[in-house]
Structure 1
Amino acid sequence: MKFQERAPLSCKDVRDIRLSIEAPFADATIVFWNNLLFQQDVIELVKEDLCAMANIRFLMSGVNMCPRHRALCLNRFCLAFDAVKVIDVPCSWKASHLRMFIYKSTHSG
């Protein structure tokens, strides 16, 4: 089976996709989101969809989803995901490492 058959690529505006209900996105259990260059309104829209995804277990994001997080945070994203760790990964487009934030779904069991 070819990679494109196992991981279909989609070239669409993310604002036009309902990640939480459209296949194959809604079935994802692990999501890698390279969102460094997204506008804040787009990030907020996608965060809402990520919170509604029933099968998601882990999210890896290039942006800290709640920079003002605190112990009793009522942010909807923070209720749906726990911050697990921050890692620095090498990337091809810059000399320094890229910081990535890993989150675990609170409803994934």
Structure 2
Amino acid sequence: MTNSGAVSASWASRRPYKPGKPPRRQVRCPPSGRGAEAFQKGVQALAQYTEREGGGVPGRAHVEQFPDGTEHRTGVWIANQRARRDRLDADQLRALTELGVQWATV
């Protein structure tokens, strides 16, 4: 309150919202580069897992071994995709759905 009893509007200048700047969730970039490669590798690991196990989703601690000897932390990857599902595009969600991931239905 000011000396005159009116409420000061100085709090409005400290607000983090900036008009004209869209919220982050509305900005969507096409899948390309390192992120797209990482997603494809995760899909490949999940496909290998579901083929071998006959379906299902691996637990968080699961690590998938590729034939070339490299490892993929498939359980952590699928948990991260679920946490970021609002940022996945329709093609990515479709790929996960085809592999039996129930939360990825389009």
Structure with the bigger RCO (C-alpha within 8 Å, sep 6+) is 1
Question: Higher Cα Rg: structure 1 or 2?
Answer: 2
Point out the structure with the larger helix share.
Answer: 2
Q: Same fold (TM over 0.5)?
A: no
Point out the structure with the larger strand share.
Answer: 1
